[in-house]
Structure 1
Amino acid sequence: MTAEPPVPASSDTAPPSGEPARRRRRDASETRQLLLDAARRRFAQDGYAATTVRDIADDAGVNVALISRYFASKEGLFEECLRAAGDELRRTTGQTPADRVPEAIARHIADLGAAGLSSQLALLLRSSGDARADEIRRAVLARSSEQLAAARGWRREEPGSDQILLRAQMALAAGIGVAVLRSSIRLEPLSSATEQDLVGPLRDLVDALLPPR
């Protein structure tokens, strides 16, 4: 375990109100995770363009220079946050047996519940106003839809593959839309629906768009 060197208190690294001025030593993995968590919240709340590395470092309570050490740049940190968001989607759509995909989507949406839209999903949906950030976002969503399509037999070079991928993207969009209406807009009875309530309709939806092969 690699320990972080102590960081002297300054305007860049002052601890949040209520914390002692002398901060305990953190290991590198903990510091990295603190930065990722703070960045994901900031990017989801304020957007990519409006978020500064100083904002993120202050939220995490670490020296701003550590962003360059672990992620090279703000763009590198954003890309890592999106990669984590993509992992969340892939766990739902890409690493599940084909016949269990509707249940996996239903479980994921039900888990949002009263907690609201997850910061990972909010990060994927929020327009950044930055061309590179949007390119990264599209790539994450593209990989997730390809994995969903592959779970139903899609192969890139096969005849008709574009139609299967289109249907997978529509199923992914529908699932995200359900999550937004449920968690952010609180549309009833969708907002209060249980996992069991959601499974049947989502199975019908996914099976209609992506019939088992």
Structure 2
Amino acid sequence: MRRQSAVQKPEISTRDRILNAAVLRFSRRSYEETGLRDIAADVGIDVSYVHRCFGSKKRLFAEAVEAAIRPVHLPTSGTGEVACSLAQQVFARDATRSHGNIGPLDIVVRSFASEDAARVVRQFILKDFINPLAEKLDQPAASRATLIAAFLAGVRIFRNVLRIAPLFKAERSELEGLIANVIEEMMKVDPVAQGHRRLTG
């Protein structure tokens, strides 16, 4: 008897299928336009099962945001390593985007029109990016971390959503180095000293 060599992959749970469908829906349509019934239909289940797994649309959206963006893992070493790591993550999902899949910022852009959705995204960014990064910075740590978050979001929107040519067509190595340099300066510069030099210079 011939042995079966193929190893079957474990089936994705229904809960994970719902979450994957939600990421796709929320990334392609606004929060207000997306209903739980639509997501249930995409998975081929009754909407009551979506309620049983996630409780509410807001909770499902929160998990979809985390799944789409993914929390940032920061190095424990110095500013240079943190800056390089953050710069690299700008390009981390380029491969999936080139194959026609959604990008991590799509769900954020679609959430702008809804206060409920924007609140969820805001809480995620604070909890999973700004606050952890601020712990590694000198004062004013929260302001520095928020400016870095805004800078990275702007780069990714210009590059991946709007596809502004100088960013979209630039060589990764060149752009990555420039981004890392800007982040490192934002992390280490003394704003009080800089302001004093400008006033007295």
Is residue 33 of structure 1 aligned with residue 16 of structure 2? Answer: yes
TM-score scaled by structure 2?
A: 0.75
How far residue 191 of structure 1 moved from its aligned partner, in angstroms, is 1.1
Gaps in structure 2 of 5+ consecutive residues = 1-9, 191-201
- 1:189 aligned to 2:169? no
What is aligned with 2:82?
101
Question: In structure 2, how many angstroms separate the alpha carbons of the residues matched to 1:198 and 1:102?
Answer: 13
Q: Distance in 2 between matches of 1:197 and 1:140?
A: 30
Structure-1 residue corresponding to 2:157: 180
Greater CA drift, 177-186 or 121-130: 121-130
Residues 103 and 40 of structure 1, relative CA distance in 2, 3 Å threshold: same
2:121 to 137, 141, 156: 137
Deviation of the 1:212 alpha carbon: 8.1
For the 8 Å contact 1:42–1:56, the answer to whether it is kept is yes
- Structure 1 pair 83–184 and aligned structure 2 pair: CA distance change class (3 A): closer
Q: How far apart, CA to CA, are the structure 2 residues paired with 1:97 and 1:33?
A: 34
1:154-179 deviation line (CA, Å, top 9, x unaligned): xxxxxx4xx22112111111111111
* 2:159 and 2:167 in contact (8 A); partners too: yes
Q: 2:126 aligns to what SS in structure 1?
A: helix
Superposed, 1:30-179 pairs within 5 Å as: 30-85=13-68, 88-91=70-73, 94=74, 97-98=77-78, 99-113=80-94, 115=97, 118-143=102-127, 144-153=129-138, 160=139, 163-179=140-156
Distance 1:119 1:39 in 2: 14
Pairwise CA distance, 1:119: 4.1
Deviations 1:23-55 (Å, cap 9, x if unpaired)?
Answer: xxx96x621111111111111221111111111
One-letter amino acid of the structure 2 residue matched with residue 107 of structure 1: Q
Give the secondary-structure state (helix, strand or coil) at the position aligned to 2:72. Answer: helix
Instruction: Using the TM superposition, give the Cα deviation of residue 193 of structure 1 relative to its aligned residue in structure 2, in angstroms.
Output: 2.9
- Over the aligned positions, Cα root-mean-square deviation in angstroms equals 2.7
Count of matched residue pairs: 176
Distance 1:164 1:81 in 2: 28
Q: Percent identity?
A: 27
Unaligned regions of 5+ residues in structure 1, if any? 1-25, 154-159
